[in-house]
Amino acid sequence: MSRYSVEVRIVPREGILDPQGNAVGGALRSLGFDDVGEVHVGRLVRLDVEAASEEEARERGREMCRELLANPVTEDFDISVREAAGSAA
């Protein structure tokens, strides 16, 4: 078993209203960032887990998204995994 760092990125699904993104986009433009296009705001979850392989760590991340982290109706997520520094192989 090794420790893996899992990063989960959760964003509003394409086509779903993103009021927070719109607010941030408006604020950026009013600060002079005129050329900013669409803005989406999501959540980032970083955690580490014990797993036998990178693929298992990724699958644990997916389960966490389905059970708690992401709203399956309105959000999409993607996951990246890397072996944690100093992990015993």
For its own copies, the binding residues (CB under 8 A) are 3, 9-11, 24-25, 27-28, 31, 33, 35-50, 60, 63-64, 67-69
5 vs 73, which CB is nearer to its own copies? Answer: 5
The answer to whether the CB of 8 falls within 8 A of the CB of 65 is yes
DSSP label of 33: -
46 vs 73, which CB is nearer to its own copies? Answer: 46
Q: How far is the CB of 60 from its own copies (least distance, A)?
A: 7
Give the angle subtended at the CA of 67 by the CAs of 18 and 82, to the nearest 5°.
85
Q: How far is the CB of 81 from its own copies (least distance, A)?
A: 14
CA–CA separation, 67 vs 72, rounded Å? 9
